[in-house]
Structure 1
Amino acid sequence: MNLASRQNAQTLIAIEMDKYRICQGAADLDGAWRALERAHIVAQPFFGPHWASHWQMAGFALALQDWREVAGQLFRLALVPLGSLTSRLPEGNTGRARVSAFKPMPVPADLAVAISPGDKQEQDR
């Protein structure tokens, strides 16, 4: 992993987390989840940010009393170390409990452009 790609990812994650907080404050739950999902997509290649994205999702689900999502996030928190060790992270996966933790998904076009080639290579491993 190169430093530039990690810094780029951290910037993109921060942007999505800002969107999450704005949507959460405006009671836009769909927008808040969408921002968390996008932060997860960018964070996946990096152990700490990936784990933190699931922690944030779990906290949001808990606040909403969405017990299915809370359980799904706890499962994913347990999987993050294994996925990182084996480099088996499904590209584009949104990280939500409503989709398989193992299913690759399309990366939104604007994120695909924003993710540097170094970040993309980390995701492909």
Structure 2
Amino acid sequence: MIFHTIMPVSLRPYFVTELDAYHKQYQAGHLQDAWRHLERAHVIGQAYPYTHSLVHWKMLLFGIKIKSAKEVLGQIPRLLVGGVKSFVGKIPVGNTGGSNIPPLRSLPIEEEIQDIFTQSGLSVPS
């Protein structure tokens, strides 16, 4: 069994870029664009416990800020279990992390994010 711990240094700038874009879009009141960056950060960081849990924490806070009971209730179990699943390498690859997607459903990874993994010298998760 492979245990995942921390995100590779080569991937981290892309993850941080998505979180920064989330904050900028959120502050500008562009909530759909902000959410999209959180989803992208989730796909990039979901294989690593800390970054996976961090994105779910931010999604939970987003749900609270927009007063979405569905998102808040959907994020609580994801926040509690997501990091553990990352640690043991049992994630639904490509899942965008929101409560609108079943938590165990794998999704195709968009081409731009596939390119991020490739540019980082990593294989695209499958």
Bucket of the pairwise TM-score, normalised by the shorter protein: 0.7 to 0.9
Query: Does the 8 Å contact 1:6/1:119 carry over to 2?
Result: no
> Does 2:117 align with 1:118?
no
In the aligned structure 2, how far is the partner of 1:46 from the partner of 1:109?
A: 21
- In structure 1, give the amino acid aligned to 2:14: L
Query: Does the 8 Å contact 2:25/2:33 carry over to 1?
Result: yes
How big is each residue's C-alpha offset from its partner over 1:64-116, in whole Å with a ceiling of 9 and x where there is no partner? 11111011110101221441244210111000001011111111111101113
Higher helix residue share: 1
- In structure 1, give the amino acid aligned to 2:23: R
Which residue number corresponds to residue 36 of structure 1? 38
Percentage of matched positions with identical amino acids: 27
Query: Does the 8 Å contact 1:9/1:119 carry over to 2?
Result: no
Deviation at 1:117, TM superposition (A): 4.5
Q: What is the DSSP-based 3-state SS (H/G/I as helix, E as strand, rest coil) of the residue aligned with 1:7? A: coil
In the aligned structure 2, how far is the partner of 1:29 from the partner of 1:96?
A: 14
What stretches of structure 2 of length at least 5 have no aligned partner?
A: none
TM-score of the superposed pair, with normalisation by structure 1: 0.87
Which residue number corresponds to residue 20 of structure 2? 18
In the aligned structure 2, how far is the partner of 1:85 from the partner of 1:22?
A: 30
Alignment: residue pair count = 121
- In structure 1, give the amino acid aligned to 2:57: W
4+ residue runs over 2 A deviation: 116-120
